[in-house]
Structure 1
Amino acid sequence: MHESENEILVDELAAVAAVTGGSGRLAGLMAKIMRNNIHEIDLVVPMPYEGAVERVVEVQERTGRRLEPRTAEPGADERTFRFVTSGGTGGMNPVVVTVLVARGGEGDSSINLRAAAKEGLIRQRAAERTATHLAALLVE
């Protein structure tokens, strides 16, 4: 797991606990020792690079909260997006999603979708389910 993903998930789980009346500090400590659930999906979409970037932005705005600014150098061949969305039972398990959009061949683009979440005693597979759901939204 990327170190920043782990830090983000620990902070997000602590915030969820604090909002729901639990101890945010204790939840943050427990999150550090929880197992990770990571799932990656590679897609090739039949749309030009600019259209694929717009599609990722649209899906991100509908499903999550952006973590990093959407800035890219003009003429760049790839662009990365990162956001947090809800997963698991009742949407109480935060999932960090990283999407890399790259120029493909003539008229298509490649998308790498990575979802990371923490797993408690009951496996919810939040990252797998979130990645699968977002991939379906990206290609619809």
Structure 2
Amino acid sequence: MTDDVDQILADALGTAGTSGGGAGGRRGAAFAAKRLRKNVHEIDVTPAMSLGIAADHVTGVLARAGHRLAVEGAWPTSAEQVIRAIVGGGFGNMNPVLITVGLTDGGPERTVASVRGVAKEGLIKQRAGQKTAKRIVALLGQQEQLG
């Protein structure tokens, strides 16, 4: 798995293109995706929980919301973790959004979480990266209250 955001989104859009046009649809969607602009939005939150518990919550929320991805070169440490997933966004949740959550230990019962959403934008601006990042933050807040 690559860490290149453009390549990850192009691959995800290519996979979506396969359902509509077979192998040609996949290549066409991936080709076009590399030339589209990105909608990027980042939100910082500070859940009142330890890094380990926060990582478990984020992992669960992202697993339910989409498809988790491996992160190259990001070995979990005692102070930082990175969790990624492709989540559906935009109209009908058809636009793949790369959600990256960076977690940093802020103390015994405090974690700093940075939620970043990135999506490709076509002619019709859907702000899928922004809206999906906000949706994930809301889900993380619900998860925090339940935990």
Give me the TM-score of the superposition, normalised by structure 1. 0.90
Alpha-carbon offset, residue 24 of structure 1? 1.6
**2:145 corresponds to:** none
How many aligned positions are there? 137
Is 37-46 or 20-29 further displaced after alignment? 20-29
Structure 2 CA distance for aligned equivalents of residues 68 and 48 of structure 1: 22
Which residue among 67, 73, 91 is the counterpart of 2:69? 67
Alpha-carbon offset, residue 42 of structure 1? 0.5
Which residue among 32, 35, 42 is the counterpart of 1:33? 35
For residues 91-129 of structure 1, give each alpha carbon's deviation from its aligned partner in whole angstroms, at most 9, with x where no partner exists. 110001111111113411110111110000000000001
For residue 20 of structure 1, what is the amino acid of its counterpart?
G
Identity of aligned residues (%): 38
**2:11 corresponds to:** 11
Unaligned runs of 5+ in 2: 143-147
RMSD of aligned residue pairs (Cα, Å):
1.9
Structure 1 CA distance for aligned equivalents of residues 108 and 94 of structure 2: 41
Structure 2 CA distance for aligned equivalents of residues 82 and 119 of structure 1: 20
**2:119 corresponds to:** 117
Alpha-carbon offset, residue 72 of structure 1? 4.5
Alpha-carbon offset, residue 59 of structure 1? 0.4
Structure 1 CA distance for aligned equivalents of residues 136 and 80 of structure 2: 19
Structure 1 CA distance for aligned equivalents of residues 91 and 107 of structure 2: 39
Structure 1 CA distance for aligned equivalents of residues 61 and 42 of structure 2: 17
Q: Is 1:127 paired with 2:115?
A: no
**1:87 corresponds to:** 89
Structure 2 CA distance for aligned equivalents of residues 122 and 67 of structure 1: 27
Structure 1 CA distance for aligned equivalents of residues 91 and 80 of structure 2: 34
Structure 2 CA distance for aligned equivalents of residues 14 and 93 of structure 1: 11
Structure 2 CA distance for aligned equivalents of residues 97 and 106 of structure 1: 26
Give me the TM-score of the superposition, normalised by structure 2. 0.86
Structure 2 CA distance for aligned equivalents of residues 65 and 34 of structure 1: 22
Secondary structure (helix, strand or coil) at the match of 1:86 reads strand
